[in-house]
């Protein structure tokens, strides 16, 4: 008798409790910070379809989730509601090959998408808010081109991918048109990416990424356990530790000293919630921290000069939280002189150094703003990498260790991040904004996300965030306890995600992936994934067992398949169930046809055809075909026919041939595939 999991105790002391209905299905999840704390409901009133898929539940913040399926158990709708109002409403539609061909966003129609596929089931076109993306592949499934047209940001381009004749290693991406990025790649003898246009990558003897370097500087360091799970990463001198459950799902993040940062909660394979730890501190009563400083870029204030230079204006703002002014405010700028040229750097008050490396803004009164304007030439390689920081030594605001910094960089534009540090705690938020070649500016987010610096008074009680995922179990929304959307991502097919709301950090991407902001790669358990080119940076550790294209992701179909282990792509639970049920129906249909045809020697042909049609439905269909075929052959040998083993062996040849060919030729005609077993005289309709 199988036992149900009823409780998980996290390293932080958090307890997670699972409640079950009389059929052994989860109907409630609760959490508490310790064994003596009160319980908080994370999900309640869970309901299911007869064969298992979840149909609905109530979130801990009161939102409701409703999921519906068609008769093949393919998703029809996913709806998140607050009372009678939609927070999210997704509608799915499939073609006759059970491929998702349209995804309608009823809440935000502009984000609806259309998909089409080649005969091998690989995504060859997608249309959405990002414009139209067209993909082409070689015979082994490597992407050879990506073309973007009708883009709302005006970036229409074609990327061509180059490979050596002897391997699947991508060596060059060449771009024509506006947008995209020329890229180059080098590999080790074992097939690991060691160099691209940005960084050098270092691996251990197990082919795991251990260091990322920019010139002589170490950008990040990673460590792994004996299971291949990444247990820590160190960036900017800070180490984060990672803890996993027995299914290799990320369970928790901790600081190096063991202090909890965040716990992750799952419902099966679905990420349900993120719980940020209580960081409340007891501040020194003799310390004042009454001012908040923010560093922002002004949206829409970036101007491209006639000679191609860029002008960007910073705003340094002091907010009144009990104090009167910030003193000795200093804004410092650094940049790589070898690639770009800082032309001028002026301030609305105070003075700047002759070389523009810093501006002394003096005293800024509460409620006032000082501006600093930067004009710089574009680097020849399009790799601008400026950074700016602002500090104050005001006694009243106690900001000796307070800072706000902004970094600029990126090909054909400026990528902007805000790093905000408080004296007794680190709070980091990211925002991004790009200026394309035409200098048009997206309104998706501010150039910089300013975050208040409150010094020793900074604290945060435990925060529960509810993660809303799509049909792949990939996050699309995160809401807080007040039902407010605090994170929202708009995703391109292969995982490139624009964070249109990013009040909280949310690093989870496709199932099993954790986005590393320092590189843009996603850690995917056994490998690392680059969404920009839709492929891994290491060859598959299990070789050809994971597919012919050993660097490719999800067989070229990230709309249907995922790869949570970074080893082999598989189906979602719903897809597997659909395939299994459809495969069983294929056997019923072919058995009926065999009876109706009543042709001598026709059994092997119909055995082959049933296995072929079932296998074309995916792993679920293949498993159903294998189970039905093996069971039938055993049954025929033992009762009532008592067939000899030789007869069973002959049937199994046809069974295996049909399954193998169907799996490899998902768009093929099974009548033609099984022609070697077709008997003379069989009517043409079969």
pLDDT of 464 reads: 98
Report whether pLDDT(676) > 50.
Answer: yes
Contact 128, 112 (CB under 8 A): yes
Is 587 within the bounds of a domain?
Answer: yes
- Quote the pTM value: 0.65
Q: What is the mean pLDDT of the chain?
A: 81
Residue-wise burial string across 538-570, b where 16 or more C-beta atoms lie within 10 A, e elsewhere: bbbbeeeebbebbbbbbbbbbbbbbbbbbbbbb
Residue whose entry in the numeric block shows the structure tokens 């975050």: 451
Average pLDDT of the segment spanning 478-487: 98
Residue 209 counted as domain residue: no
Q: How many Å apart are CA 489 and CA 441, to the nearest integer?
A: 19
304 and 443 both lie in a single domain: yes
pLDDT(581) > 60 = yes
* Whether residue 583 sits in one domain with residue 446: no
Distances in Å between the alpha carbon of 226 and those of 10, 223, 253, 476, 526?
Answer: 21, 10, 19, 32, 12
Q: How many domains does the chain have?
A: 2
Task: Give the sheet arrangement for strand 325-334, strand by strand.
Answer: 351-352, 358-365, 325-334, 384-391, 403-410, 415-422, 425-429
Q: Which of 455, 473, 505 is the last residue of a domain?
A: 455
Among 275-279, 296-300, 525-529, 611-615, the minimum mean pLDDT is found in 296-300
Q: How many other CB atoms are there within 10 angstroms of residue 21's CB atom? A: 12
- pLDDT for residue 204: 97
Out of 246-255, 397-406, 604-613, pick the least confident: 397-406
Mean pLDDT lowest among 123-137, 209-223, 292-306: 292-306
Judge whether residue 233 has pLDDT over 50: yes
Highest mean pLDDT out of 248-252, 572-576, 624-628:
248-252
| Within-domain flag for 592 | yes
Last residue of a domain, one of 410, 439, 455: 455
CATH label of the domain that carries residue 581 = 1.10.132.110
In this prediction, residues 495-523 reach a mean pLDDT of 97
Retrieve residue 159's tokens.
Answer: 């990327």
Q: Who has greater pLDDT, 454 or 202?
A: 202
- 625 domain-assigned: yes
Instruction: Tell me how many degrees the CA angle 465-469-561 measures, rounded to the nearest 5.
Output: 145
Please report where in the chains the tokens 């490597």 appear, as a residue. Answer: 142
* Domain residue limits at 647: 573-677
| Average pLDDT value for residue range 243-247 | 94
Asked whether residue 428 falls in the same domain as residue 297, the answer is: yes
Residue with the two structure tokens 């995703």: 491
Is position 591 within any domain? yes
pLDDT value at position 364? Answer: 77
Tell which wins on pLDDT, 306 or 618. Answer: 618
Q: How much is the pLDDT for 42?
A: 98
Asked whether residue 1 is assigned to any structural domain, the reply reads: no
In tens, the pLDDT along 602-631 reads: 889 999 999 999 998 887 888 889 889 888
Taking 80 as the threshold, does the pLDDT of residue 432 lie above it? no
Q: Which of 397, 430, 455 is the last residue of a domain?
A: 455
Q: Assign 3-class secondary structure to 139-175.
A: CCCCEEEEEEECCCCCCCEEEEEECCCCCCCCCEEEE
430 occurs within a structural domain: yes
Q: Is 292 helix (H, G, I), strand (E, B) or coil?
A: strand
Q: Are residues 586 and 449 in the same domain?
A: no
More confident residue, 664 or 163: 163
The CATH number given to whatever domain includes residue 333 is 2.60.40.1170
Judge whether 211 lies within some domain: no
Stated length of the chain: 686
Residue 531, sorted as left (phi over 0), alpha (psi -120 to 50) or beta, turns out to be alpha
What SS3 string covers 55-87? EEEEECCCCEEEEEECCCCCEEEEEEEECCEEE
């Amino acid at each position: 008798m199988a036992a149900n999991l009823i409780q998980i105790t996290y390293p932080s002391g958090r307890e997670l409790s699972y409640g079950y209905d009389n059929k052994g299905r989860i109907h409630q999840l609760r959490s508490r910070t310790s064994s003596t704390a009160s319980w908080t409901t994370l999900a309640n009133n869970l309901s299911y379809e007869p064969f298992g898929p979840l149909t609905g539940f109530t979130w801990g913040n009161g939102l409701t989730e409703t999921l519906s399926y068609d008769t093949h158990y393919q998703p029809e709708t996913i709806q998140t509601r607050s009372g009678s109002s939609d927070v999210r409403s997704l509608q799915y539609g499939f073609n006759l090959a059970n491929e998702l061909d349209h995804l309608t966003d009823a809440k935000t129609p502009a984000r609806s998408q259309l998909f089409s596929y080649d005969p091998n089931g690989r995504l060859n076109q997608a249309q959405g808010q990002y414009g139209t993306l067209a993909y082409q592949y070689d015979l082994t499934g490597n992407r050879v081109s990506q073309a973007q047209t009708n883009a709302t940001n005006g970036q229409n381009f074609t990327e061509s991918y180059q490979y050596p004749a002897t391997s699947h290693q991508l060596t060059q991406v060449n771009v024509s048109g506006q947008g995209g990025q020329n890229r180059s790649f080098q590999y080790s003898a074992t097939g690991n990416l060691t160099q691209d246009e940005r960084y050098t990558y270092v691996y251990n003897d197990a082919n795991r990424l251990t260091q990322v370097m920019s010139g002589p500087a170490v950008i990040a360091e990673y460590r792994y356990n004996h299971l291949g799970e990444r247990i820590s990463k160190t960036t900017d001198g800070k180490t984060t530790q990672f803890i996993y459950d027995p299914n290799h799902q990320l369970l928790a993040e901790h600081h190096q000293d063991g202090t909890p940062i965040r716990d992750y909660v799952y419902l099966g394979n679905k990420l349900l919630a993120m719980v940020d730890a209580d960081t409340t501190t007891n501040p020194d009563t003799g310390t004042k921290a009454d001012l908040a400083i923010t560093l922002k870029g002004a949206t829409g204030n970036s101007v491209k000069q006639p000679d191609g230079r860029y002008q960007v204006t910073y705003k340094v703002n002091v907010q009144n939280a009990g104090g009167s002014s910030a003193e000795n405010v200093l804004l410092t700028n650094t940049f790589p002189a070898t690639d770009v040229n800082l032309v001028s750097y002026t301030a609305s008050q105070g003075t700047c150094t002759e070389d523009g490396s810093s501006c002394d803004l003096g005293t800024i009164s509460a409620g006032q703003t000082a501006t600093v304007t930067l004009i710089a030439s574009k680097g020849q390689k399009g790799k601008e990498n400026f950074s700016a920081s602002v500090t104050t030594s005001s006694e009243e605001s106690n900001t000796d260790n307070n800072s706000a910094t902004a970094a600029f960089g990126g090909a054909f534009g400026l990528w902007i991040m805000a790093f905000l540090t408080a004296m007794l705690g680190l709070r980091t938020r990211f925002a991004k904004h790009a200026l394309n070649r035409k200098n048009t500016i997206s309104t998706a987010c501010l150039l910089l996300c300013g975050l208040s610096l409150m010094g020793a008074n900074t604290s945060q009680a435990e925060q529960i965030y509810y993660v809303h995922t799509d049909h792949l179990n990939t996050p699309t929304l995160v809401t807080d306890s007040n039902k407010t959307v605090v994170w929202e991502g708009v995703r391109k097919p292969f995982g490139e995600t624009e964070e249109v709301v990013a009040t909280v950090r949310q690093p989870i991407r496709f199932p099993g992936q954790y986005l590393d902001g320092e590189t843009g790669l996603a850690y995917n358990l056994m490998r690392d994934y680059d969404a920009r080119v839709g492929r891994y940076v290491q060859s598959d550790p299990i070789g050809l067992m994971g597919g012919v294209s050993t660097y490719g992701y999800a067989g070229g179909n990230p709309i249907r398949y995922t790869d949570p282990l970074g080893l082999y792509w598989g189906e979602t639970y719903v897809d597997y169930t659909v395939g299994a049920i459809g495969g069983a129906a294929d056997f019923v249909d072919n058995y009926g046809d065999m009876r109706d045809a009543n042709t001598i020697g026709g059994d092997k042909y119909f055995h082959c055809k049933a296995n072929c049609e079932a296998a074309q439905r995916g792993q679920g269909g293949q498993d159903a075909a294998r189970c039905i075929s093996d069971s039938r052959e055993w049954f025929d040998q033992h009762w009532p026919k008592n067939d000899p083993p030789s007869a069973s062996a002959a049937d199994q040849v046809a069974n295996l041939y049909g399954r193998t060919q169907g799996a490899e030729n998902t768009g093929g005609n099974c009548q033609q595939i099984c022609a070697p077993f077709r008997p003379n005289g069989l009517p043409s309709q079969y």
